[in-house]
Structure 1
Amino acid sequence: MGNVVKVRIEIDQTLAEPEIVIRTPAEDAEIRQLLQQLNVPDVPTPPVLTCYKGDTAYYLDLNEILFFETEERQVNAHTADDIFETRHRLYELENLLPGSFMRVSKSAILNVANVFALTHSLSSNVVAFQQSHKQVYVSRRYYPVLKRRLEELEQL
């Protein structure tokens, strides 16, 4: 490897099996070569959620989901161009989804990573998404939490 690599071995008798942790600023060719030498499978694919349209099951990359919304007792997953049904309830999704998702109203959970704009007015709070005409309403209760999360993302 061309870069200087620090190696540290820690003995932890509470472990049932050895564990290797690679800390790196970015995955590059050298890291991939090291993973091959260690016989580590490729980096896992992004998590997916099974959603439906009629009788067809679709396996949606969570990064592509803009938001989930309840409509007439059915929870729908919205992507930039489409809507899919999910068999989960919102409270179940809250427990299943990664930290980039958050509840923003009684009937919606959104993917904070896909937020493009947040409009705040006396009558409503609306989120717009990148490369999509879709919008979702944020209740007054959740608005301050969402605004704080978006400001934290801005720090990155």
Structure 2
Amino acid sequence: MKVNLFVSKDIKEAHADIHTNELTDNITKAIAILESDDSNDMLAVKNGSDIALLELGDIYMFRVEDKQVKVYTENSDYLIKKPLYQVEEDLDQSFVRISKTTIVNLKKIQRVAPSLKGMMFIELKNGLKDNISRKYLPEFKEALGL
């Protein structure tokens, strides 16, 4: 999908025009987001050549892999262009960094267990697993209220 953005100080109220040959689910979601004030609860991600809109509550994990940030949901994974530190700035307290390369949704944690050399192991409800590094462990425990 081609997207054009025009920024002008002469425009008093922002508006969007969508030109399409078919009303798809993604376009319907985009319209809902544009019309609502809750756009901070959504994240635009790449799904192949398409752009998908995800609700933050549906995201399990953000992880850097092969110099790209992957977004994991229950059954799928997507790519985003933002670096991990910028993603982290836009997230609410439901998300916490557990390592240099990973941010998880606290609401999607299945279990946490001790791991090697003072680290902890985390498993999410969709089966994803990762380690919580010692550096981020105090912040993780605080986020859990421990």
SS in 2 for 1:93: helix
Q: Cα 1:50–1:42, aligned 2, differ >3 Å: closer, same or farther?
A: closer
After superposition, residues 8-47 of structure 1 pair within 5 angstroms as 44=38, 47=41
Q: What's the TM-score once normalised by structure 2's chain length?
A: 0.68
RMSD: 2.2
Task: Report Cα offsets for 1:5-55 as digits up to 9, x if no partner.
Answer: xxxxxxxxxxxxxxxxxxxxxxxxxxxxxxxxxxxx999577110001211
After superposition, residues 79-98 of structure 1 pair within 5 angstroms as 79-98=73-92
Q: Cα 1:126–1:96, aligned 2, differ >3 Å: closer, same or farther?
A: same
Q: How far apart are the structure 2 equivalents of 1:45 and 1:117?
A: 31
Q: How far apart are the structure 2 equivalents of 1:106 and 1:68?
A: 11
Aligned residue number for residue 74 of structure 1: 68
Q: Cα 1:42–1:74, aligned 2, differ >3 Å: closer, same or farther?
A: closer
SS in 1 for 2:116: coil
Task: Report Cα offsets for 1:35-77 as digits up to 9, x if no partner.
Answer: xxxxxx9995771100012111110110010110000110000
Aligned residue number for residue 100 of structure 1: 94
Q: Is the 8 A contact 1:80 1:134 kept in 2?
A: no
- The CA deviation at 1:104 is 1.0
Q: What's the TM-score once normalised by structure 1's chain length?
A: 0.64
Q: Cα 1:55–1:117, aligned 2, differ >3 Å: closer, same or farther?
A: same
AA of the residue aligned to 1:127? I
Match of 1:109 among 103, 107, 127: 103
Matched, 1:136 2:130: yes
SS in 2 for 1:76: strand
For structure 1, the 5+ residue unaligned runs are 1-40
AA of the residue aligned to 1:143? L
AA of the residue aligned to 1:53? N
Structure 1 runs, 4 residues or longer, greater than 3 Å off? 41-46
Aligned residue number for residue 127 of structure 1: 122
Share of identical aligned residues, percent? 26
